[in-house]
Structure 1
Amino acid sequence: MQDRLTTALVAMRRILRATETSARALARETGLTTPQLMVLEHLRDGAESTPTRIAQSVGVAQATATALIEKLEARGMVLRRRGESDRRQYWLSLTEAGAAALDASPDPLQRRFAERFAKLDDWEKAMLVASLERVAHMLAPDTADAAPILHAGDVAATDASGAPSA
């Protein structure tokens, strides 16, 4: 019994370590957080987009998307343009600096996981999802839904623009 518990705890620690290592590499090489990178990737994949579409695509709340966008705009990675027919709405696009940050970013852990997950058989995907949901419930039964982002949280202190501080 204890061996299985130990094996389970080691596996969870390996997941946490991989997430932290990936987030640190991203912050070190680009100054971005994982959610910020996902916003930039969303904008690279299409033309202009709205904060609502970004929130839906990235899987975060509207307020979180707005905060991410503001930090990226302050760093010159995103350009904000007011809508012509509705001045309350604004449209976002990727700048050259944002595209350069994407090009410089290491391969995100989330992308590697998605590629490997896609290769699994359906039954294996279902078992894995069920197991992960069960573990999540065991660890935090009352936690609200989370965004589908592999992000360790604050891995380094950041300045007002969201970039890691020295």
Structure 2
Amino acid sequence: MDSEIASLTLRALRRVLRATEIGSRQLATTTGLTPSQLLVLREIDAQKKATPSGIAQALQFSQATITTIVDRLEALGFVQRQRGEKDKRRFMLTALPAGRAAIADAPDSLQMTFTERFIELPSWEQAMILSAVEKLATLMGAQEIDAAPLLDSGLIDRSTPD
């Protein structure tokens, strides 16, 4: 019985991994972006005065990761960096029309769907799911792996979609 439950659990985990992979491929096909790049682009567009440090803080990504992702978005013509008027060391980030078009064209991300559905759950059920997923990470020896709050199977700051 225990091995049957373990097998069912692994199958459910595999479905989550496959859904993440499929979602990433759909996004790459539609926009040429990775999920993390789209997340950063959306955050830049949402903030009126976006700075790399503000984006890093909002998304819980490292400053270095944001820099790499913004470099890619800038190369694609999706965002623009401008030096601050008062402090020339600071950069302001702005989504360009091509970036806004990519946001509009992007399919609904698995992360957004998950978040919308998860927050509708009662708090006790949210806590139960969190506990189970944290236990799963521990069982897999992954509890110490640093991970951003993002459903993506590749490196967060990769420059090209997988």
| Structure 2 counterpart SS, 1:145 | coil
> In the alignment, which residue of structure 2 is the partner of 1:18?
19
> In the alignment, which residue of structure 2 is the partner of 1:82?
83
Superposition TM-score, scaled by structure 1 size:
0.90
> In the alignment, which residue of structure 2 is the partner of 1:92?
93
> In the alignment, which residue of structure 1 is the partner of 2:102?
101
Say whether the 8 Å CA contact 1:44–1:94 is kept in structure 2.
yes
- The amino acid across from 1:32 in the alignment is L
| Structure 1 counterpart SS, 2:50 | coil
Query: Over aligned residues, Cα RMSD in angstroms?
Result: 1.6
> In the alignment, which residue of structure 1 is the partner of 2:63?
62
> In the alignment, which residue of structure 2 is the partner of 1:148?
149
Say whether the 8 Å CA contact 1:35–1:58 is kept in structure 2.
no
Percent identity between the two aligned chains: 42
> In the alignment, which residue of structure 2 is the partner of 1:5?
6
Superposition TM-score, scaled by structure 2 size:
0.93
> In the alignment, which residue of structure 1 is the partner of 2:134?
133
- The amino acid across from 2:149 in the alignment is P
Distance, in Å, in 1 between the alignment partners of 2:160 and 2:144 is 28
Distance, in Å, in 2 between the alignment partners of 1:40 and 1:110 is 15
Q: Closer, same or farther in 2 for the Cα pair 1:70/1:18, shift >3 Å?
A: same
Runs ≥4 residues deviating over 2 A: 140-145, 162-165
Matched length: 159
Q: Structure 1: which 5+ runs fail to align?
A: none
Q: 2:34 aligned with 1:33, yes or no?
A: yes
